[in-house]
Amino acid sequence: MDILAHALWAGAGTAYAARRMTISRPVAVATVTLAVLPDIVQMLPLIPWAVAGGGTLAELHAFALAVPGQEPALPPLVALFSHHLHCIMHSAVVAAVVTLLLWLPRRRFWIPLAGWWSHIVIDVFTHSADYYAVPVLYPFSERGFDGLAWNTPWFLALNYAALAVTILWLALTRGRSKRLP
Ligand SMILES: [Zn+2]
């Protein structure tokens, strides 16, 4: 799914959860940040290349909006780093290990991880075999589920319509169910 929709769904989910449990502002911000980070970290290796290497900002922009087969040519090392960062951040295996490592000392789920998990779960079903299928089992496999590509026009429209309805509902019911017992 696109970055904006990831942020909006995570924001809506956090706002709803805040009606049922105490969620501080920093935790809410961290949750939304982790929901968008998986699509941003893969761009990091391109920045030194675009700023000081042979790349251009136009190529960085082209990479961000690329469709399969039309990505700009990257230096092999940049492409390799970017690919594996994308895999790591979209892997349920990696997320499970991190979740466990953060859970162990406090025996409590670290709420911002819900943002990361939301990204992975949404992406698994909103990417298809020919549109960057998500390597959810990385590093064991880079194969992904053949879902429905999020850029399919009717799905894109439906997704934003659903977001608009959800955000409107949250706004209209604001303050109605503050902290259930
Ligand atoms: Zn993603």
Q: How far is the CA of 114 from the centre of ligand 1 (A)?
A: 14
Q: Provide the pLDDT for residue 59.
A: 81
Confidence at residue 181, expressed as pLDDT on a 0 to 100 scale? 44
Q: Tokens representing 54?
A: 């042979």
Q: Is the pTM of this model over 0.85?
A: yes
Amino acid 47: pLDDT: 85
How close is the Cα of 39 to the center of ligand 1, in Å?
5
Mean pLDDT by 10 residues, the chain (181 residues): 96 95 96 97 87 80 80 87 95 98 95 97 93 92 90 95 97 72 44
- Pull the structure tokens for residue 159: 């997704």
Helix extents (H) in 21-129: 25-36, 46-51, 57-64, 76-89, 92-106, 113-125
| Cα end-to-end span (Å), the chain | 35
Separation of 1 CA from ligand 1 center, angstroms? Answer: 6
Tokens in use for 124? 């698994």
Q: Is residue 147 classed as helix, strand or coil in its secondary structure?
A: coil
For residue 56, what pLDDT is reported?
79
Distance 142 CA to ligand 1 centre (A): 14
What is the Å distance from ligand 1's center to 40 Cα? 9
- Find how far residue 79's CA is from the centre of its chain: 20
State residue 179's pLDDT score.
52
Residues 107, 130: Cα–Cα separation, whole Å: 40
Tell me how far apart the alpha carbons of residues 28 and 59 are, in angstroms, rounded to a whole number. Answer: 33
User: Rounded to the nearest whole angstrom, what is the distance from the C-alpha of residue 95 to the centroid of ligand 1?
Assistant: 13
CA of 119 from ligand 1 middle (Å) equals: 6
